[in-house]
Amino acid sequence: MDLLIDLPNIQIQDAFEDRSGNYILTVISTEKCTHCHKCGKRIEKSNGYGESIELRHPDILGKQVYLRIRFPRYQCDCDGQPTTTQQVSWFTRRSGFTKAFEQRILLSCVNSTIADVAIKEKVRYELVSGVVDRNIDKAVNWESIEKLDVLGIDEISLKKGHQDFVAIVTGRSDDKIQVFGVSRDRKAVFLKHSQAVTNFCMVRLF
Ligand SMILES: [Zn+2]
């Protein structure tokens, strides 16, 4: 099971299927530190746990997966001795989803509408558009991309019947598709990333 959820520094403590047929996994973080939200220092002095939260994660064997977790809290010795709840790389605070699930939602948006994705992934419409909004105009870290066969730029409509479009930039290499970013302006995407684009080979425009 730990392998199936594919998240770093996470251990499953309990797993059961609820009445709706969803997998509910109670997990713990095995990382023993975080960075102080005030001074940025690495801190390890334990100070209890945050509230229990439930995060949607990509399906396993066709079942919806929810991770229940209480992130550990740590105390710093800087001014006021503030406490910080652990921040992890695989989850954006207050999103309700793991980043892996957000990627899946964004990928589903390619050649689809937000309303269709909401139905298909069984997620409320506002939550799907929330994922798109959160990812708009986030910088793409081209340096981290080693290999890319095809760069895809697809347009999705944010609201039915409205001329409110965003472009989703995806990359494919070795049959693995990844979302790089979402932009309000597809021409800007192209210009902004033209250096990266010329470094690689094919661009597929919708
Ligand atoms: Zn501090």
Query: Does pLDDT of 40 surpass 90?
Result: yes
Cα Dmax for the chain: 55
pTM of the model: 0.81
Mean of the per-residue pLDDT values of the chain = 84
Q: Rounded to the nearest whole angstrom, what is the distance from the C-alpha of residue 178 to the centroid of ligand 1?
A: 36
Taking CA atoms, 36 is separated from 39, 83, 87, 122, in Å, by 6, 7, 10, 36
Q: Rounded to the nearest whole angstrom, what is the distance from the C-alpha of residue 86 to the centroid of ligand 1?
A: 13
Could you tell me the pLDDT band of residue 163, with boundaries at 50, 70 and 90? low
Residues lying with their CB under 5 A of ligand 1, a single-atom ion: 36, 38-39, 41, 76, 78
